[in-house]
Structure 1
Amino acid sequence: MSRLRLTFACGDYDRTRALEDGTVRPDGIDLTYLRLPVEETFFRMMRFREFEVAEMSMSSYVKSLDLHDPPFVALPVYTSRQFRHTGIFVNAESGIEKPGDLRGKVVGTPEWQLTANVWIRGLLADQYGVPVDSVEYRTGGQETPGRIEKAAVDLGERIRISPIGPAQTLARMLADGEIDAFQGPRVPSSFVPGGNVRRLFADPVAAEKQYFAETGIFPIMHVVVVRRDVYESHPWVAQTLTKAFYLAKQKAAAELYDASALRFMLPWLIPGLEEARALMGEDYWSYGLPGNEHVLSTFLRYHHQQGLSRRQYEPAELFAPETAEAFVI
C-alpha cells in the first residue's frame, strides 16, 4: 500500500527537526518538509492554501473558524511558545516609565491580528491596567513600508486604529518619536545600545517569570493545521501526525539536555534549562489539550474581546477530535 504524500511548511525548530531529517516518520505518511520563514508560511497558507499541513499563527487559525467553510483543522501541537514582555519597546522621550503610562499613547503594531500582539494587549489589560481601548494604534510595515493585514479585521469604532503612510516604517517612527511605543514579535532595528529606543520592561525576564508565577501561562503562539479537505479525506492523519510531532519534541528535549557539547550557542544553556524545568515543570513545552486549557481559554478570551473572532471559542473546539488519544503512547 502506498504512503500518503503530504507537504509540511514550517520554521526551523529543534522540536520539528526529526521530522525534517526523517529520524521520526509519521506512520503511513511521506512528509516533505519545507523550511520557510513563518510570515511566508502564514501568508501562503491563508491566501492560497498551498500546503497540506502547515505551521499557523494561533490568531489567524482562530479567525479562520469564523468563515462559513473553515479551511483548516488544528492539531494540539504548539511549534512556538513565547513570553512577550520582551516585545514592547518605547521611545525614551515618550514619558513611558511603567506599563500604566501607555494609556493615552500612540503605539505601533505591524498587524492587529498577530498572535504576539493579542497576548501583549491582553496581558497589559489583565496585569497592568491598560485597557485595549485606552491606546491609539498605528499599523504598517516594521522595517519596510506597505505591510497590510493578512485578513480583514472589523473593529468597529471602539478601537482607535489607522495605518501609517505608504512610505513610513514603524521602526523609524519609533526612533523619531512619531509613535510613543511599539508592540510586536520582532525586535525593531531602531533598538540599539545607547539609542533612544528601549524596552518597556528593564528586566523582561524577571517580569515574565513573575507573570508565569501569577498566571501559570506560557503563551502559545503557533499551532499546526491540516487543510480541511485533506483531513476529511484521511481523518487518520490527525492522530498520526500529532504522535509524530510529540515524538520529535521528546527527541529534541533529550538532545537539548546533553551537556557534553552545547547544542546551541548559549553559554548557560544547561543551567537555563534546569531553571525552566524547576520553575515551570518538567514538560514546560507541553503539547495536547489537557494542561493547556487555561492558556488556550485566556487567549480565546483576548481574541474575542479584541474584535478578532465573532464569538469566544472553547479550547476543545480548536482541534481534530482524533488527537485526544494521540498522546497515549
Structure 2
Amino acid sequence: MASKKLKIGVSDSDRTRPLANGEVPLDGIDAEISLMGVQALFNRQLKDHTFDACEFPIATYLRTLETPERPYVAVPLFPSRHFRLSCVFINKTKGIRTPADLAGKRIGMMVFDMAAAVWLRGIFEEHFGLPRTSPIYVSGGLDAPRSGDEHPQFYPEQFKIEHRTDASLAALLESGEIDALYTARAPSTWPSANVGRLFENPMEAELGYFEKTSIFPPMHILAIKRPLVEAAPTLPRKLFNAFAAAQEVARSKLFDSAALSTMLPWQLEALLQTEEKLGKDYWPVGFAKNRAMLDVFIRYMLEDGLITTPFTPESIFDGADILST
C-alpha cells in the first residue's frame, strides 16, 4: 500500500472521526480519508467508484454479489445502525394507527433498496402483519422533486411502484397524495398539523422489537474493492481492527463527562440507559455476533426479490478471510 494512498470514504460520525483525525492509526496503511454526507457518499461511490474502501449501503452490497465482477469485498463492520420504526411518517388525516393499516396505501420512499426500506418491509410483514407487496410505493425526492434515481436501482416486478418527479415526497405526504413515508431522515413537513409519526412512542416500539429479536439493524457495511484485497490479503483485517478501535473511542467519549462530546445534556445517562436496555455490546462488530442478524437481512432481501441467491452469512464475506472475528 506504500506506493499509493488508499482512498477511504465514510460518513461523518463519532465512529469515523477518530480515523480521519488520526486518533486511531491505520496499521501500515497510507490513507486519505474523506468524510461526507451519506447520500453524497453513496451517489459518488455507486456512480464513479471513487473510493478504494467505503462505507457502503448493505442492501446494495448484497446486490453486487450477484454481478459477474463482484467488485467489492465486505468487512463485518457496520458504521451505521438505526431502529427505523421512528422513521415512518403518516398523514394524520388517513386514520392510520398500525403498520397493518398501510395495506393498500401509498407509501413514499426515496430509494427502494435502501436498508431502511428493506428492514421496514421485512419487519412490518414478519412482526406487524403488513404484507410487503400490499402497499403502492411512490418513489421521489424527499424535500425537493427529483427527475430520476440518483444511483442505479432495481424494482422487483412483485411490487406496485410509481415515480413522481413533479413534487417532493414531503409535500405529497402533507397534502395527502401519499399516505405514509419510509425515510432515513425526517421530512421537512414534520411536525405539522397533517404529518406525524406512525409510532407515537417509537422508542417503546423499537425496544419491543429488540426484545423479540436482539437485532439493532445495520444500514451500512464496510466494503473494499476486490482487486485491492486480492493484492493485499491483510487489508480487510487491518481496516477491521482500525474501525473497531475507532468505535471504542467513540464510546469512551460518550462516557467522559468532563466536556460533553455532543450537545446532549444527559449524554452519559443516555449511554447508560441504552446499555442497560440493549446490553453493553449493543453495536457489535465482527462476524460471529452479527451472523443471526445477517441471516434475517438476507432473508428479507430474498423476500423482496432484490436478490435471488440464498447467500449464507459466511459467503457474503468471501475474500475477507476474517470470519473468526
Shorter-chain TM-score tier: over 0.9
1:5 aligns with 2:35: no
Q: Find the aligned partners of 2:59 and 2:2 in 1 and give their Cα distance.
A: 36
Tell me what 1:256 maps to: 254
Q: Find the aligned partners of 1:70 and 1:31 in 2 and give their Cα distance.
A: 24
Tell me what 1:190 maps to: 189
Q: Which runs of 5+ in 2 are unaligned?
A: none
Match of 2:244 among 246, 267, 270: 246
1:171 aligns with 2:170: yes
Tell me what 2:274 maps to: 276
Kept after mapping to 2: 8 A contact 1:102/1:130: yes
Query: Which aligned pairs between 1:131-170 and structure 2 lie closer than 5 A?
Result: 131-146=131-146, 147-148=148-149, 150-156=151-157, 158-164=158-164, 166-170=165-169
**TM-score with structure 2 setting the length:** 0.95
TM-aligned CA deviation for residue 153 of structure 1:
1.0
C-alpha distance after superposition, 1:211-266 (max 9, x if no partner)? 10111110011011101121111121111111111111112211210122221111
Kept after mapping to 2: 8 A contact 1:3/1:29: no
1:211 aligns with 2:209: yes
Query: Which aligned pairs between 1:59-78 and structure 2 lie closer than 5 A?
Result: 59-78=59-78
Q: Find the aligned partners of 2:21 and 2:50 in 1 and give their Cα distance.
A: 22
Q: Find the aligned partners of 2:253 and 2:140 in 1 and give their Cα distance.
A: 40
TM-aligned CA deviation for residue 281 of structure 1:
1.4
Q: Partner of 1:132: helix, strand, or coil?
A: coil
Tell me what 1:88 maps to: 88
What do you get for the CA RMSD once the two structures are aligned?
1.5
TM-aligned CA deviation for residue 154 of structure 1:
4.0
Tell me what 1:296 maps to: 294
Query: Which aligned pairs between 1:89-128 and structure 2 lie closer than 5 A?
Result: 89-128=89-128
Percent identical across equivalent pairs?
34
Q: Partner of 1:45: helix, strand, or coil?
A: helix
Match of 2:223 among 219, 222, 225: 225
Q: Find the aligned partners of 2:24 and 2:88 in 1 and give their Cα distance.
A: 37
Q: Partner of 2:215: helix, strand, or coil?
A: coil
TM-aligned CA deviation for residue 324 of structure 1:
2.8
Tell me what 1:234 maps to: 232
C-alpha distance after superposition, 1:138-186 (max 9, x if no partner)? 1111112124162231412x2111111x222111000000011111111
Kept after mapping to 1: 8 A contact 2:44/2:50: yes
Q: Which runs of 5+ in 1 are unaligned?
A: none
Kept after mapping to 2: 8 A contact 1:300/1:313: yes
Q: Partner of 2:210: helix, strand, or coil?
A: helix
Kept after mapping to 1: 8 A contact 2:2/2:30: no
Pair 1:3–1:242, CA change in 2 (3 A): farther
Q: Find the aligned partners of 1:259 and 1:10 in 2 and give their Cα distance.
A: 27
Q: Partner of 2:305: helix, strand, or coil?
A: coil
Q: Partner of 2:31: helix, strand, or coil?
A: strand
C-alpha distance after superposition, 1:245-304 (max 9, x if no partner)? 111111221121012222111122111111111122111111111111121111111111
Q: Find the aligned partners of 1:74 and 1:4 in 2 and give their Cα distance.
A: 21
Q: Find the aligned partners of 2:7 and 2:224 in 1 and give their Cα distance.
A: 10
**TM-score with structure 1 setting the length:** 0.94
Query: Which aligned pairs between 1:20-59 and structure 2 lie closer than 5 A?
Result: 20-59=20-59
Tell me what 2:323 maps to: 324
TM-aligned CA deviation for residue 2 of structure 1:
3.7
- Matched residues, number: 323
Q: Find the aligned partners of 2:177 and 2:243 in 1 and give their Cα distance.
A: 44
Deviates more, 1:93-102 or 1:76-85: 93-102
TM-aligned CA deviation for residue 321 of structure 1:
3.6
Q: Given residue 295 of structure 2, which amino acid in structure 1 is its aligned partner? A: S
C-alpha distance after superposition, 1:193-224 (max 9, x if no partner)? x4210000000011001110111110011011
TM-aligned CA deviation for residue 11 of structure 1:
0.8
Kept after mapping to 2: 8 A contact 1:4/1:28: no
Tell me what 1:287 maps to: 285
Deviates more, 1:213-222 or 1:278-287: 278-287
